[in-house]
Structure formats: C-alpha cells, structure tokens
Amino acid sequence: MIITRTPFRISFVGGGSDLRSFYSEHPGAVLSTSINKYMYISSHRFFDENKIQVKYSKTETVTDKRKIQHPILRAIFQKFGTDGLELSSIADIASGTGMGSSSAFTVGVLHNLYSREEKLISKEQLAKEACEVEIDLLKEPIGKQDQYAAACGGLNIIRFLEDGKVGIEPLFLKKETLTRLEENLLLLYLGNQRKASSILEEQNENTKQTSKFKALKQMVDLVPELKNAMSSGDLSQFGKLLHENWCIKKSLVSNISSKDIDLAYDLALKHGASGGKVLGAGGGGFFLFYCEKEKQPHVIKALKLRPFSFKFENEGTKLIYRGDE
C-alpha cells in the first residue's frame, strides 16, 4: 500500500489573477499558505487484476479505465495505464469549501501513482501536471494557484507569468510574527458547499471588461503590500489588506457574495475583526478573518458559525507510507 498526504490551502490576496484570461495579458500573483488539513490518497493492488476500483464519495469498479465516471481519476488512470489497482481518498475538509480540494486531490493522486512506479518527480512538476489534467485536458475554468500551493506547500507568493510559467517565492517570517499571525486568523464554516466552476466561468468572461481587469490588477498590487507588512511584523495591516482584497473581489462576479454573507461579514467587523474574506471562488465555504485572539470569542458568538482550528504547514505533498503488498 502507498499513502500520500497533500495539504489544503488558504489564499490571502491576489486570487483570480491565476486565471489564464488574466495572466496571459498581465502577470498575476497570489499570497497564500498551505495548512495542516489534508487530502489522503491510498493505493493498493486490487484482488481482481483485470479491474480498477476507486473510492471517493462513491465507489466505482470498472474493467475499462475509460469508463471511470470521476473525470480526474479517469484522466489520470488513462495517463498511467494502470490496471489491477484500488485507490481511495479521505479528506480532512469537505469539497467545495474554497480550500483547493480538487487540486489537492489531483496532486495527491499523481504523486501516489508516480510513487507506485518508483519515479522521483519534483513538486513543481507535479503541480504542472495537475494543471495540465484539470485545465488543459478537462477544460475546467480554474487557475493555477491551488495546484502549486498543494504540491509545494508553505507560505508563498505564487507568480503567474504571461508565458504560462509559474514562480514560487517562499516567505520566511520571524517565529514571533508567524505565531501571532496563526493565532489572529479565525476560520469560520459558512456551509453552502458549492462548485466553483460556475463562478469562475463568469469571472473568466468578465476579465474581458476593462473595469474587471483593472480590479484584478489592484488585487495583484496588494500582494507586495501584504508581503512587506508580514516581513516587517506589522500585522495591524493584515486585516486592512484582507478587507480591501474582499471589497475588490466582490466587484468581479455577481454571486461571489450574498446578502447573508455581507450581513455576517459586517457583523464580524462590528465585533472585533479588522478584515476578512470568503475563501476560494466565493459563494460559501469558509470565512477567514483577521481578528485578535482575545476578540475572537465575540465574533464566534455573534455569527454563530463553527470555528475551525488550523496551523500553517511547510511540507506540501508527501509520501507518508509505503508498505509491502
């Protein structure tokens, strides 16, 4: 048996600039971190050597890999030409909650099957191939940040260049600053799991509008501002920049927010948060707020939403078990 562990991610500012419709015209950048919540992929030789069994939210057993219903698994199994295998996934967080679960799944499956073939492959190459599967092959209207965050791990600025290349710039903070940042970030579960593709399809189309394109450039400009604030230890700016990013992001697409989300957000600010955002494409999932630790109970009580504890992580996708079969 082989087990890989691949982290989910939280993005702070710049999200949306990883879409090809934007970075093909202007360089994009996202400041994000991976967290200690994971997608686990296990693979094991299947008893019936002529079949493949895959287990996710449902179980499929097929004799022809082209008949696998899960599009990502179908594409990857065809890429590897693997038969006689059982593959399963377990996740710490539900899909559709804005933490890059789909890309963590793709990276994790690729890593697992490459490990099974005893092939060493870099994390950057895993991310690149995950992008090829999701964006180029399956034509998902998504960007590239999730794949690189999941594969490489850590607190990074991820840059998206006009020629399609991706650059990773790790951020190294003082231990005191990193501890304060972790303590002052509050994650609350909104519910309303959703598929991001409909929002991202509209955002891709809206990028053709001058005003929307300009808004995305403004979000990219927040990346160096946030980097400077974090590097200097001035976390008083963190919430302000999250808030500015959220206000711009809401202007990009009609259903990123809602009346209920706006009311909850305003209530959080009233009770002590200095800024925040809805993670991922928007519409539901998780709220992320910058809120000093002593004020967090007031925000939690006011919003009546489930808090979700987490830590930053630096390893990215990792092989955690290899056993004899």
CATH architecture of the domain 175-307 equals 2-Layer Sandwich (3.30)
2-172+313-322 topology per CATH: Ribosomal Protein S5; domain 2 (3.30.230)
Q: Do domains 2-172+313-322 and 175-307 have the same CATH topology?
A: no
Using a 10 angstrom Cβ sphere, with 0-12 exposed, 13-18 middle and 19 or more buried, the burial of residue 58 is: exposed
Question: What's the pTM value of the predicted model, to 2 decimals?
Answer: 0.94
| Alpha-carbon gap, residue 101 to 133, rounded angstroms | 15
pLDDT tens string 51-106: 999 999 999 999 999 999 999 999 999 999 888 999 999 999 988 888 999 999 99
The answer to whether 22 and 203 have CB atoms below 8 angstroms apart is no
| Dist CA 296 CA 226 (whole Å) | 22
Tokens at residue 12, please?
């702070």
Domain boundaries, the chain: 2-172+313-322, 175-307
> What is the average per-residue pLDDT within 126-135?
98
Closest CA to 124 of 174, 165, 79, 71: 165
CA distances from 171 to 80, 131, 159, 230, 262 (A): 35, 23, 13, 9, 31
**Mind listing the pLDDT tens digit for each residue in 263-282?**
999 999 999 999 999 998 66
